C-alpha cells in the first residue's frame, strides 16, 4: 500500500498588510500611525499526497498556490492547522527534512551569475556532504538526463534561459531529493525547452519515484505531467481529484466535423436531430455529449455516406480557464 508522504489538515495562513495614503502627508501619517489588517490567504484546506504522485496546483494569480508550496517546504510558518511532509514538520527545517526536498521557482535563481554552473554544482555538493567522486557521478547522470554538456562550463550570464533552467534543475537535484516543489518551472521558456523539461521530470519521477508538487500557468505542463490536480480558489480547495474527470465535467460536449460525400447527405444529416453548430455545403459540425459519442458515431456511419470526420477537443486553456473563476465542482 502506497503511503501518504504529504498530509495537510485544516491549514490556514494569514498575513498582516498595511496600507498607506499617497503623498508626503500620507507617508508621515503612515510612519506615526500605521494601520494594518489581517488577510487570510489560505483558508482551512486539507489534502494528502502519496509517494510518487505528480500533483498539479491550479488557480488564478493570488489564489494561494505559491503560499501553499512555501508552507510545505518550510519557508513560511502556518497560522493554523498541521502539515506533515515525509514525517517532518516543515517549518522546523530539520537537516534530514531539507535533504529530502527541493524547491525550484521559475522566477528565482540559485546559480552564481558570473561563474559556470559546474562551480555551483560542486558548492551544492559540499553543502550536502557529498564527496567529489559522488558529486561527479551525480552531475554526469543528471547532465545526461537533461542533455546538457558544454553549458556546464560557460558562465551562467551567457547561457540562454532554457540552458539556465536546466542547470538550475541539476543544481536543485544533486542531493537526490524525493520530494520536488516546482513553482512555475517553465516560466519564460520556449516550446522546445518546455517539452524537454517535462520529458526530464517524467523520467526523473519514473526512475526515482520522487513526489512532485507543481504549479504552472502553462496548461501543457499540467496535462502532460499530472493525473491529479488540486484547484485553489481564493485560498480554498475547489476541486481535488483526477484531471480527466475535471475536464469531462467542464467540457461534457465534443464537436465533430463531418465531411459528407455530397451536399444532399449533409442536408439529411442536418435534419436528423443532431445539434448543429456549423454547416457549409458538404461539411457539417455537430455537438455530441461525451457519454453518447460511440452510439452517435455508429448511427452516423451506418446511415450516411461519410467521406471523413474529425473529433475536435476544446482548447485545454479554455477549459482550464473555467477552473480559475469557479469556486466549486460537484464531481
* pLDDT confidence of residue 327: 56
Pick the CATH number of 252-312 from 3.40.50.720, 3.30.70.920, 3.20.20.20, 1.10.10.10: 3.30.70.920
Gap between the Cα atoms of 252 and 246, Å rounded: 10
pLDDT in tens, 128-173: 999 999 999 999 999 988 888 888 999 999 998 888 888 998 999 9
The CA-atom distances, in angstroms, between 59 and each of 8, 65, 317 are: 18, 7, 12
CATH 3.30.70.920 residue window(s) in the chain: 252-312
pLDDT in tens, 286-303: 888 877 888 888 888 888
On the question of pLDDT at 331 being above 70, the answer is no
Gap between the Cα atoms of 184 and 321, Å rounded: 17
User: What pTM was estimated for this model as a whole?
Assistant: 0.81
Residues 6+ apart with CB under 8 A from 74: 90, 91, 92, 93, 97, 98
CATH 3.40.50.300 residue window(s) in the chain: 46-248
Judge whether 208 and 178 are in contact, CB under 8 Å.
yes
On the question of pLDDT at 324 being above 70, the answer is no
* pLDDT confidence of residue 317: 62
pLDDT in tens, 215-260: 988 888 888 999 999 999 889 998 899 988 887 777 778 888 888 8
* pLDDT confidence of residue 165: 86
* pLDDT confidence of residue 185: 87
Per-residue pLDDT band for 107 (boundaries 50, 70, 90) equals confident
Judge whether 225 and 198 are in contact, CB under 8 Å.
yes
pLDDT in tens, 29-72: 877 888 888 899 999 999 999 999 999 998 888 889 999 999 99
On the question of pLDDT at 198 being above 70, the answer is yes
Classify domain 46-248 by CATH architecture: 3-Layer(aba) Sandwich (3.40)
Amino acid at each position: 500500500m502506497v503511503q501518504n508522504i504529504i498530509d495537510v489538515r485544516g491549514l490556514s495562513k494569514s498575513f498582516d498588510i498595511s496600507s498607506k495614503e499617497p503623498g508626503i502627508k500620507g507617508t508621515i501619517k503612515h510612519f506615526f500611525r500605521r494601520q494594518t489588517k489581517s488577510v487570510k490567504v489560505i483558508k482551512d484546506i486539507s489534502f494528502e499526497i502519496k509517494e510518487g504522485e505528480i500533483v498539479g496546483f491550479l488557480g488564478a494569480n493570488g489564489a494561494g498556490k505559491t503560499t501553499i508550496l512555501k508552507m510545505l517546504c518550510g519557508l513560511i510558518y502556518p497560522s493554523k492547522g498541521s502539515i506533515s511532509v515525509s514525517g517532518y514538520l516543515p517549518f522546523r527545517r530539520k537537516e534530514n527534512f531539507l535533504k529530502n526536498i527541493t524547491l525550484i521557482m521559475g522566477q528565482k535563481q540559485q546559480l552564481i551569475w558570473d561563474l559556470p554552473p559546474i562551480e555551483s554544482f560542486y558548492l551544492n555538493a559540499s553543502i550536502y556532504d557529498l564527496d567529489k567522486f559522488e558529486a561527479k557521478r551525480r552531475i554526469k547522470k543528471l547532465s545526461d538526463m537533461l542533455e546538457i554538456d558544454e553549458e556546464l562550463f560557460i558562465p551562467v550570464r551567457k547561457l540562454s534561459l532554457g540552458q539556465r533552467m536546466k542547470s538550475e534543475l541539476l543544481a536543485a537535484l544533486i542531493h537526490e531529493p524525493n520530494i520536488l516543489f516546482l513553482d512555475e518551472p517553465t516560466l519564460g521558456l520556449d516550446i522546445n525547452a518546455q517539452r524537454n523539461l517535462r520529458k526530464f521530470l517524467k523520467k526523473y519521477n519514473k526512475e526515482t519515484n520522487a513526489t512532485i508538487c507543481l504549479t504552472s500557468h502553462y496548461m501543457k505542463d499540467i496535462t502532460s505531467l499530472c493525473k491529479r490536480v488540486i484547484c485553489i480558489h481564493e485560498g480554498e480547495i475547489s476541486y481535488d481529484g483526477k484531471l480527466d474527470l475535471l475536464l469531462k465535467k467542464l467540457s461534457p460536449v465534443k464537436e465533430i466535423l463531418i465531411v459528407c460525400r455530397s451536399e444532399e447527405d449533409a442536408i439529411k444529416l442536418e435534419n436528423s436531430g443532431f445539434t448543429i453548430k456549423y454547416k457549409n455545403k458538404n461539411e457539417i459540425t455537430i455537438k455530441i455529449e461525451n457519454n453518447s459519442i460511440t452510439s452517435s458515431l455508429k448511427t452516423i456511419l451506418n446511415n450516411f455516406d461519410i467521406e471523413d470526420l474529425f473529433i475536435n477537443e476544446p482548447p485545454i486553456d479554455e477549459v482550464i480557464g473555467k477552473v480559475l473563476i469557479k469556486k466549486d465542482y460537484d464531481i
